[in-house]
Amino acid sequence: MKVLMVNGSAHQKGTTFRALEEIGRTLKEEGIEYEIFQLGGAPIRDCIGCGKCSEEGCVFSDDAVNKFIALAKEADGFVFGTPVYYAHPSGRILSFLDRVFYSSGSVFAYKPGAAVAVARRGGTTASFDVLNKYFGISQMPTVGATYWNQVHGLNGAEAELDAEGMQTMRNIAHNMAWMLKCFAAGREQGIQLPKTERGARTNFIR
Ligand SMILES: Cc1cc2nc3c(=O)[nH]c(=O)nc-3n(C[C@H](O)[C@H](O)[C@H](O)COP(=O)(O)O)c2cc1C
């Protein structure tokens, strides 16, 4: 079993990375593999709403979106981590995830996801809420912990001083591992995926 994580910061070894690394180390102790996918500092296009997404994913192949989708098909669970910028997730993770989910949302169905927000001081729960929205619309069970999934610090070294934040990260990993093992046991017992009703698609609310 494998958990694929996204570091939504351009800092490859910053606070977000340190939080994800804590989750990864704990997953490893639980016997689960992990990979941290770095968005890095290269430009990431925003979704232009062209509606031309295909089996291969997004029409633009000059950044990491389609590479990530290929990895996501093989993964069993996900963690999306972001630094807080002006009380919201980083622009780069939003541009990235909009295109990933708009083109390939079905890849994520029935796979658990956890959102993580890190900040020096404020805006973590607002950012956490935004990332959780990708899970809610994609039939993904969400993974919580013993506090909202957040770590405080200006950088990776400060993040380590946030003992409760680090504890929260480890608890995300334990809960993710437990879910993945339960789902695998269910599959072995022949439990089918839930039925999904589709067809109704109304573009207005009355
Ligand atoms: C453009 C920008 C906006 C930021 N806005 C906030 C903010 O609203 N609240 C906050 O606590 N920290 C804010 N920060 C600080 C970062 O969230 C914080 O340093 C975080 O630990 C960086 O994580 P990283 O090392 O993974 O990039 C901001 C940083 C930048 C660059």
Q: Which amino acid is at 156?
A: G
pLDDT of 67 over the 90 cut: yes
Q: Flag whether 56 is in a domain.
A: yes
Domain that holds residue 92: 2-188
Q: Flag whether 134 is in a domain.
A: yes
Ligand 1 atom nearest to 153, measured from its CA: 21
pLDDT band for 206, please (50, 70, 90 cuts). low
Q: What is the pTM of this model?
A: 0.97
pLDDT band for 201, please (50, 70, 90 cuts). confident
Is any ligand 1 atom within 6 A of the Cβ of residue 41? no
Residue of higher predicted confidence among 19 and 202: 19
Domain count, the chain: 1
Q: Flag whether 198 is in a domain.
A: no
Is any ligand 1 atom within 6 A of the Cβ of residue 123? yes
Q: Flag whether 94 is in a domain.
A: yes
User: What is the pLDDT of the chain when averaged over all its residues?
Assistant: 97
Give the count of beta carbons closer than 10 Å to the beta carbon of residue 70. Answer: 12
Query: pLDDT tens digits, residue range 140-164?
Result: 999 999 999 999 999 999 999 999 9
Residue 142 DSSP one-character state: B
Please give the average per-residue pLDDT across 48-77, as a whole number: 95
Q: Flag whether 199 is in a domain.
A: no
Q: List b or e across 146-160, with b for residues whose CB sees 16 or more CB atoms inside 10 angstroms.
A: eeebbbbbeebebbb
Chain position carrying tokens 């070894």: 13
Q: Flag whether 168 is in a domain.
A: yes
Is any ligand 1 atom within 6 A of the Cβ of residue 178? no
Give the count of beta carbons closer than 10 Å to the beta carbon of residue 190. Answer: 6
Q: Flag whether 205 is in a domain.
A: no
Structure tokens at 2: 């494998």
Nearest to 46, CA basis, from 95, 104, 101, 105: 95
Task: Give the CATH number of the domain where residue 6 resides.
Answer: 3.40.50.360
Q: Are 15 and 118 in contact (CB under 8 A)?
A: yes
Structure tokens at 125: 């729960």
Is any ligand 1 atom within 6 A of the Cβ of residue 155? yes
Helix (H, G, I), strand (E, B) or coil at 105: helix
Is any ligand 1 atom within 6 A of the Cβ of residue 120? yes
Task: Report how far apart, in Å, the C-alpha atoms of 65 and of each of 88, 97, 132, 139 are.
Answer: 21, 8, 19, 21
Query: pLDDT tens digits, residue range 78-90?
Result: 999 999 999 999 9
Closest residue CA from atom 19 of ligand 1: 154
Query: pLDDT tens digits, residue range 31-58?
Result: 999 999 999 999 999 999 999 998 889 9
Per-residue confidence (pLDDT) for residue 204, from 0 to 100: 84
Ligand 1 atom nearest to 120, measured from its CA: 11
Q: Extract the runs of DSSP E, i.e. beta strands, from 62-197.
A: 77-85, 88-89, 113-119, 150-152
Q: Flag whether 167 is in a domain.
A: yes
